[in-house]
Amino acid sequence: MLAIVDIQFPWIMSGFRYWENYEFYNIDKDILFFSVHNMRDPFPTKVYPLKSIKKYPITDIYCVFLSFTLGLLDYPGEIPGKNFWLSRKQHLLSKLIGRKYGLSEFVKRNDISVHTTIYPGGGYQENLLGQAIEGLRFIGNYPNVKDVFTNLSLVQEVIPKAHWVPGISNVDFYRFTPRAKSDKIQLLFACHHRREKGFNYLTKAFKLLDPAKYHLHIAGDWKDDLHLIEHNNYTYYGTLSPTKLREVYYKCHIVVTPGYTDDVPPSGSVTIDGFPTGAAVDAMSTGCCLISTNIRKDYRALTPGIDYLEVNEKSSDDIVNALEYLYENQDEMLSIAYSGHEKILKFFDVKKNVAYKYNLIRGRNV
């Protein structure tokens, strides 16, 4: 019996994790779901508290993220990035991440196979990189860990057997709709608040653009940073549910992700985004053209100049040049958006990627 475990679930705002777990359920109705912190969002089956997992005849466990996987296996060292989700509104969650759950003896005693996806998150910045590598070595050498899925080159360097899976998007929910050329291009910036998301560089670029030609849509907890915008040609939504955020995607032509690497602040909680970010993947799935710094320099799924436009980190001028180029060449903007969408279908489709994981977990040929 396969058990899927998470820190908090069902939580639709978690995005890809929610869609992934939902698709696992669609494939196999006998899967049991467990969560440290049980949320109240709709889900078609019962989610049990993690502390009750030992009551069930579990043969396989699936989970995500480096810190949580190490916690499940009672890693004896310091868990890297255990506070990587800490933000102004997430203090409770920070107390849950990095906890050790006492499951290692249960896993070993019952010869349970463990499967994990290690996505970008906390623990990979320079000051914690050594801890992350040691944690990955622990996972790679743990006898019960059978499958590791990832979209991080570092993980594959440390765990050569890891399977590359770029990420997921619910392409049925975020269905493609071609955009039309326009005298006013609609821009999108959508993410949770962190300084290294690059909002300040986007606002500097926005000051240099003709306000008659662009409108900026902002989703996420950025209320305290809106003073950085000098023009009034923007709409601020705050944090939105996936359904509401999808409506914003369809209004936009271009999604901008100007994230950057940075010196580690005193909290040590810098997060280096994966590429493309979850919101960017979903926006591209609907038909948005991506402009990104691609701070991980990941070119395995998307090709710059064909599937998206790449700009340098911390360069407002690069953002301005890219936006003005696309405004003057809207046929190319629409072509890049379509090509990016096709790559999302090829590499990021939740149904394909979850089926791939499920078949490996259950020992089937893929």
Give per-residue pLDDT as tens, 243-252. Answer: 999 999 999 9
Confidence band for 338, pLDDT divided at 50, 70 and 90: very high
Residue 94 has pLDDT above 70, yes or no: no
Q: List domains and CATH numbers for the chain.
A: 2-168+349-361 (3.40.50), 185-347 (3.40.50.2000)
pLDDT tens per residue, range 55-82: 999 999 999 999 899 999 999 988 876 5
Least confident window among 114-123, 138-147, 172-181, 331-340: 114-123
3-state SS of the chain is CEEEEEEEECCHHHCHHHHHHHHHHHHCCCCEEEEEEECCCCCCCCEEEHHHHHHCCCCEEEEECHHHHHHHCCCCCCCCCCCCCCCCCCHHHHHHCCCCCCCHHHHHHCCCEEEEEECCCCCCCHHHHHHHHHHHHHHHHCCCEEEEEECCHHHHHHCCCCEECCCCECCCCCCCCCCCCCCCEEEEEECCCCHHHCHHHHHHHHHHCCCCCEEEEEECCCHHHHHHCCCCCEEEEECCCHHHHHHHHHHCCEEEECCCCCCCCCCCCCCCCCCCCHHHHHHHHHCCEEEECCCCCCCCCCCECCCEEECCCCCHHHHHHHHHHHHHCHHHHHHHHHHHHHHHHHHCEHHHHHHHHHHHHCCCCC
pTM: 0.89
pLDDT tens per residue, range 137-186: 999 999 999 999 999 888 999 999 999 999 899 999 999 999 999 999 99
